[in-house]
Structure 1
Amino acid sequence: MKDLILLGASGQLGQEWQQILDKEDFSQFNIAAYDSDQLDLTDKHKLAEVLQERNPDVVVNCAAYTKVDESEKHIKQAETVNVKAVAELARLSEELNFKLLHYSTDYIFPGGEEDKQRFPKGYTEDHPADPINKYGETKWKGEQAIRDNTDNYLIIRVSWLCGQFGSNFVKTMLKLGKERSTLQVVDDQWGSPTFTTNVVENCINLLYREVKGTYHLTSEGLITWYEFARAIFDKAGVEVKVEPVSSDQFETMADRPHYSKLCTDKIEAVPGSNVINWNQGLDNLLSQLDSLSRL
């Protein structure tokens, strides 16, 4: 049995990890889950105390400062969570000999419009990082801190994360679709959504196979946010007019990449991996949300 500590347990990925590992199929994992109130990642002394006491085989870090726009004005807070705390986790990984599974983002890449033609399959894991906002910058620094402090790590980069728990684009669209007759959604940002169930299942496979390193995990296909919104409403049977607009019409504090597709060739080469099409992932998620609404 593997002892696994889950950090950031109340987020959408953390809750997905708990739900999946609660199933009998994964009874070989002994999981201890902590949300930020139970274990503050930035409290290095408490963090070390808990990890030394628990002596885990694996630590899954789902905790992060993910407020993209807020990171522009609260850079110190973002760096404390996304860089300094992650560096301490990596140091403890080396000291206590546990594998660190950490999540990163497509936002570490520049996302220029020209990259859609230059890299049609998406950015590979070894593509040079060049983030265009503070959030992406802190996540990249966090990755570097891990590599500087331990070799026993799995860094999983995801994009456009969606799941049955927490807040995300799919749930926001479904809510707004019931409240408004018309919505405007940007049609000049390209990528592919990543679904939390598929993330956790693939990560468990990587843990089983004792894989290390950096991997991209997203869905097959390439769409814009506008196309994604249209698909959400069509599949959910919600009648709402969706208008495509440019990013320029939505003023945000942080710049967003125009192209952030992640290439998944590397993870697909690992036996047991299952990279799904975004349509399948959306169907699965809408079914999950429908089941939750019936409870």
Structure 2
Amino acid sequence: MKILVTGYTGQLGYDVVHHGLKLGLNMVGIGSKDLDITNQHEVFDYLKKMNPDAIIHCAAYTAVDKAEDDRNACWNVNVEATKNLAQAAKDINAKFMYISTDYVFNGEGESPFKETDKPNPIGYYGLTKYEGEQVVQQLLVNWFIIRISWVFGINGSNFVKTMLSLAESRNELNVVNDQIGSPTYTLDLVRLLIDMIQTDKYGIYHASNEGFCSWAEFAKEIFRQANIDVKVNSISTEEYPTRAVRPKNSRMAKQKLIDNGFIPLPPWQDAVGRYLKELPQEVK
């Protein structure tokens, strides 16, 4: 099975490719330097020549705050590029997996959002990711949409690395405690994605490590497991204003994974421990 992975230089795409290679799959990872996915003709030509059996579309414009002002770039990557890839996948009859986000929801309430709940994004980034979901569903039959949240991996920047870096110069940090979600370790996630892409169990899924926490609780667990003495002060979203509004409730129900025979990801605390052991020493 030949699998094309976009966003190879990012956290998730990098791990998808390397895990697939370990399993003996024919993985091809591409970044923006390899292919301009916003260019329709380039995409069509590239995919026609490569003719993959499946595409895992990890590439995305993910700078949530910057997206509020840099709207054209965000739209082109998250919507137009997705349209180009989906149409090309249709032409070559390839399976298509679109990586989406918890930001498609409005973050209201305290109940986990189900796969069938209607998205209602409150920020421009979330809006473009939801538009990308709709493009995939309109153009294709053989599609997977995987909504993920709070991702951390070896390749690229993330919350865990940021906390460890800040701890080098500070012994006290203020972290938001009223945004609740599930951290997601890329190594756990990619095992699921590669298992799933080899099936025909199409549809919308939610995928993250098990359990919920606030960003402040996440930070405390990082420092606890890393044996770093840093005081974490819990603050409200209003005390930490950002350009883009963040959903306060990013809990996602994952019943569809279970219903379709997929193994849920391990608890997020366990994932943090394994991740800290994997991190290069210089990062710590």
Unmatched segments (≥5 aa) in structure 1: none
Alignment-derived partner of residue 79 in structure 1: 75
Contact 1:178–1:238 (CA under 8 A) maintained in structure 2: no
Whether the 8 Å contact between 1:268 and 1:274 is mirrored in structure 2 is yes
**1:37 corresponds to:** 33
**Cα pair 1:111 1:259 within 8 Å, conserved:** yes
Counterpart for residue 159 of structure 1: 149
| 1:196 maps to 2:170 | no
Alignment counterpart, residue 254 of structure 1, candidates 244, 262, 267: 244
**Alignment partner, residue 265 of structure 1:** 255
Give the deviation of 1:255 after TM superposition: 0.3
Q: How far did residue 86 of structure 1 move?
A: 0.5
Q: Which residue of 1 aligns with 2:208?
A: 218
What is residue 231 of structure 1 aligned with on the other side? 221
For 1:161-193, what per-residue CA distance to the aligned partner results, in whole angstroms no more than 9, with x for missing partners?
111211110111111111211110001111111
Question: What do the CA deviations read for 1:239-286 (whole angstroms, capped 9, x no partner)?
Answer: 111111111111211000111111111112232423211111111111
Please give the per-residue CA displacement for 1:227-250, whole angstroms capped at 9, x wherever unaligned: 000000000011111111111111
Check whether the contact 1:11–1:165 (CA below 8 A) recurs between aligned residues.
Answer: yes
User: What is the CA–CA distance in structure 1 between the aligned matches of 2:154 and 2:235, rounded to whole Å?
Assistant: 27
For 1:214 and 1:163, the matched residues in 2 are separated by 23
Please give the alpha-carbon distance, in whole angstroms, between the structure 2 residues aligned to 1:149 and 1:229: 41
Tell which deviates more after alignment, 263-272 or 151-160.
263-272
Comparing 245-254 and 266-275, the one that deviates more = 266-275
What letter matches 1:216 in structure 2? H
Q: State the AA in 2 paired with 1:9.
A: Y
Match of 1:287 among 245, 255, 277: 277
Q: What is the distance in 1 between the residues matched to 2:79 and 2:234?
A: 36
One-letter amino acid of the counterpart of residue 12, structure 1: Q
C-alpha spacing 1:77/1:174, structure 2 compared with 1 (3 Å): same
RMSD: 1.3
User: For residue 100 of structure 2, what is the amino acid of its counterpart?
Assistant: S
Q: Is the 8 A contact 1:205 1:273 kept in 2?
A: no
The separation in 2 between residues aligned to 1:47 and 1:90, in whole angstroms, is 10
Farther-moved stretch of structure 1 (200-209 vs 181-190): 200-209
1:10 counterpart letter in structure 2: T
What does residue 89 of structure 1 align with?
85
- The alpha-carbon deviation at position 293 of structure 1 amounts to 2.1
Identity of aligned residues (%): 36
Match of 2:102 in 1: 106
Distance in 1 between residues matched to 2:261 and 2:198, nearest whole Å: 11
Tell whether the 8 Å contact from 2:3 to 2:54 is kept in structure 1 after alignment. Answer: yes
**What do the CA deviations read for 1:209-237 (whole angstroms, capped 9, x no partner)?**
22211100012111100000000000001
State the partner residue of 2:122. Answer: 132
- Structure 1 residue 14 corresponds to structure 2 residue 13: yes
- TM-score normalised to structure 2 length: 0.97
Q: Secondary structure at the match of 2:115?
A: coil
Q: 1:243 aligns with which of 209, 219, 233?
A: 233
Within a 5 Å distance, the mapping from 1:59-70 to structure 2 comes to: 59-70=55-66
Give the Cα–Cα distance (whole angstroms) in 2 for the partners of residues 46 and 22 of structure 1: 26
Report the Cα offset of residue 43 of structure 1. Answer: 1.6
Amino acid aligned to 2:144: L
Residue type of the partner of 2:101? T
Matches within 5 A, 1:108-123: 108-112=104-108, 115-116=109-110, 119=111, 122-123=112-113
CA distance in 1, matches of 2:140, 2:128: 18
Read off the aligned partner of 1:84 and give its amino acid letter. Answer: E
**Structure 2 gap segments, 5+ residues each:** none
Q: How does 1:42-61 map to 2 (within 5 A)?
A: 42-61=38-57
Code of the aligned partner of 1:234 = R
Q: TM-score, normalised by structure 1?
A: 0.93
